[in-house]
Amino acid sequence: MNTAPDFLLIDGLSRSHGRQRVLKDITLGLPQGALTVLLGPSGCGKSTLLRQIAGLEPLDGGRIVCQGQDLAATPPERRGFALVFQDHALFAHLSVYDNVAFAPTEQRLGQDEIARRTRRALEALQIAPLAQRGIHELSGGQQQRVAVARALAAQPRLLLLDEPFSSLDPGLREDLQHMLRELLHAQNQTALLVTHDQREAWALADRLAVMQAGDLVQAGEPDRLYSQPATPWLARFLGHRNLGDRAVWLDQDLRLLRPGQPVPPGGAPVPVTLSALRRLGAVCELSLTPSSTLHPLPPSWGAGPPVWQMQLSRREWLALDSPETGQALVLRVDAPGHRF
């Protein structure tokens, strides 16, 4: 659990366009050094909130407090925030390298530090080979990566990212998400990233905030939102589908077996930890302890090779990505001893 004090407090923000209430009394803290992901369907108000934090959109109510200081009178350029919006806004007359080196140079850092930060950001975004190119010689996706690298190299007080990887292919996007997360942590960078892509949110978020139609539905640790969604809408949005009281049968690759499906050959018992499940593309939470294991069923439970049954201490929610559909399946698992 993150106990660091909030770096930024969004306190009761609202915004309307005509009769449409785009933001309804949003309150959210951004912890120092953490990446908070703001997730929600298209049009729910994410970008509006980001723009308000940046100082580019008026507030109809509420306040934004950064390290104890109300930002109402602080113009965007004095906030010390870096923004990556969907239009990139790169310096067209500068090379890729000079775009990324721009902020460290303005900050009058030493030559070595400028070069180090610039190189690190270029490498993280996998654009070092493009360093000497002009901006007009880049694809849209490459420009997007330059924009992210430029913002990272600035090491701002707060990094604001609006759908920063939207133009990229899925494979590259996943690589860059991984690199971004590593670099943000290495820099202890406080950041807020907006996306409507759930995979991106799960890959990146230290904290997750989900919006729906101008409301902040829930914010907190991603696993907590997943296992204890605050509203039925959020449960559905996150992919929960209750399959009822059924036994959970898993093969050694943690694939779900349907009733009656032939049991594949088993392997060694698989220790189940949250991180092991996540590596396998699954999410499991609530009170599954790190020491929980999958045990082979005793032979009396059926002929044939062993399968694994998850031993759980009490009623749990178990969510696994279905390899067939790519959708998350959530199963309610009853206590051991209960025969399904």
**For binding to ligand ATP (CB under 6 A), which residues are involved?**
17, 22, 40, 42-48, 196
> Shortest Cβ distance from residue 128 to ligand ATP (Å)?
30
Annotate 190-227 with b (16+ C-beta within 10 A) or e (fewer): bbbbbbbbbebbbbbbbbbbbbbebbbbbbebbbbbbb
Give which of 88, 44, 80 is closest to 159, Cα–Cα. Answer: 80
Nearest distance in Å: CB 160, ligand ATP: 12
The distance of closest approach from Cβ of residue 215 to ligand ATP in the complex, given in angstroms and rounded to an integer, is 12
Q: How far apart are CA 320 and CA 255, in angstroms?
A: 8
Q: Choose between 48 and 252: whose C-beta lies nearer to ligand ATP.
A: 48
Could you tell me which of 45, 53, 47 has the C-alpha nearest to residue 24?
45
User: Rounded to whole angstroms, how far apart are CA atoms 187 and 182?
Assistant: 9
Task: Tell me which amino acid residue 44 is.
Answer: C
Closest approach of ligand ATP to the CB of residue 208, in Å: 15
Cβ at position 320, least distance to ligand ATP in Å: 28
Nearer to ligand ATP, 162 or 316 (CB): 162
Q: Which is nearer to ligand ATP, 43 or 265 (CB)?
A: 43
Min dist CB 87 to ligand ATP, Å, is 12
- Extract the tokens encoding 40: 């929600």
Task: Give the residue with the Cβ less far from ligand ATP, 202 or 308.
Answer: 202
Query: CA 215, 219, 224: angle at the middle one, nearest 5?
Result: 135
Note whether 194 and 35 are within 8 A (CB): no
Give whichever of 196 and 255 is closer to ligand ATP, judged by the CB atom.
196
For the bound state, the minimum distance from the C-beta of residue 205 to ligand ATP, rounded and expressed in Å, comes to 16
Backbone angles phi, psi at 294, to 5 degrees: -95, 130
For 229, the token pair is 């969604």
Q: Give CB contacts under 8 A, 24+ apart, made by 54-60.
A: 54/79, 54/81, 54/83, 54/160, 55/79, 57/15, 58/15, 59/13, 59/14, 59/15, 60/14, 60/15, 60/16, 60/23
Minimum distance between the CB of residue 164 and ligand ATP, rounded to whole angstroms?
13
> Least distance (Å) from ligand ATP to the CB of residue 170?
18
Q: How far apart are CA 141 and CA 8, in angstroms?
A: 30
Candidates 45, 60, 11, 6; CA nearest to 194 is 45
Question: Which lies closer to ligand ATP via its Cβ, residue 3 or residue 42?
Answer: 42
Closest CA to 145 of 164, 118, 117: 164
Choose between 48 and 292: whose C-beta lies nearer to ligand ATP: 48
* 3-class DSSP assignment, residue 229: coil
